Amino acid sequence: MDHTIDYRPSFALLTVSLDEGESLRSEAGAMVSYSDGIDIETNAKGGLFGSLKRSVLGGESFFQNTFSARQAGEVSFAPPLPGDIVHHGLEDETLYVQSGSYIASDPALDLDTSFGGAKTFFGSEGLFLLKLTGTGDSFLSSYGAIHEVELGEGERYTVDTGHIVAFDETTSFSVERVGGLKSTLFSGEGLVCTFTGPGTVWIQSRSMDSFLSWLIPKLPTNNSA
């Protein structure tokens, strides 16, 4: 689907133009506005079990919205956190998306929760990754700026688990501690993910875990004077 896409970085606002008969599926709560002639349908995409997996295990909403154009129009979206939005077109391929980074995609793409096993068990972002498969457009968000890293065959790149947005299925990965248990506990660094190419990895400049670690000690408590 050849969408016209308008992304305004200063507002972190994504506007997608739809021709008559076209549709776009989004994360519930991501919609900002839409024009006349756009119909919205809310459902549990993938059935009860599939929606429960995405919601409870993947960190996404139980329901999803599908926007369908009765006439040419546009739909605008924004992420819950301040940051960038990236558009990635899939061509009969698979993309793994970290929890919370999915905004919207072509309804032709299959959206599922993929179990990562022990490799993601210790990751700060949880046990499950969202798995996008097929051909069509996808739109992802980041907390802070987003950076795309292209890896060649056998090339390795290491990223803190809290800074991962998405990566290609062609990229293999492993999760490990930084330097060992002592470093993990006292250095301020924790678990990292080492990717091996070929493929693309998208990373974000900020981490929700790091922000919360900074914020929570500054919040007032019942014992505060």
pLDDT the model gives residue 217: 78
Q: Which residues of the chain have pLDDT under 50?
A: 10, 46-60, 115-127, 181-188, 225
Angle at alpha carbon of residue 167, lines to 203 and 143, rounded to 5°: 30
Which superfamily does 3-45+67-217 belong to?
A: Mitochondrial biogenesis AIM24 (3.60.160.10)
Phi and psi torsions of 145, nearest 5°: -75, 150
Please name the residues in contact with 134: beta carbons below 8 A apart, sequence gap of 6 or more: 90, 92, 106, 108, 109, 110
Model pLDDT, residue 50: 46
pLDDT of amino acid 214: 67
Give the pLDDT confidence score for residue 44 in this predicted structure: 61
pLDDT in tens, 35-73: 999 999 987 654 444 444 444 444 445 578 999 999 999
User: Can you list the positions of beta strands (E) in the chain?
Assistant: 4-8, 13-18, 23-27, 31-34, 38-43, 64-69, 73-77, 85-97, 102-105, 110-115, 128-141, 146-151, 156-160, 164-168, 172-177, 191-196, 199-204
How far apart CA 152 and CA 60 sit, in angstroms, is 31
Domains in the chain: boundaries: 3-45+67-217
State which amino acid sits at residue 41: E
Q: Which tokens belong to 62?
A: 């139980």
* pLDDT value of residue 6: 58
73-96 pLDDT, tens per residue? 999 999 888 888 999 999 999 999
* Cα-based distances in Å from 202 to 19, 37, 97: 29, 34, 9
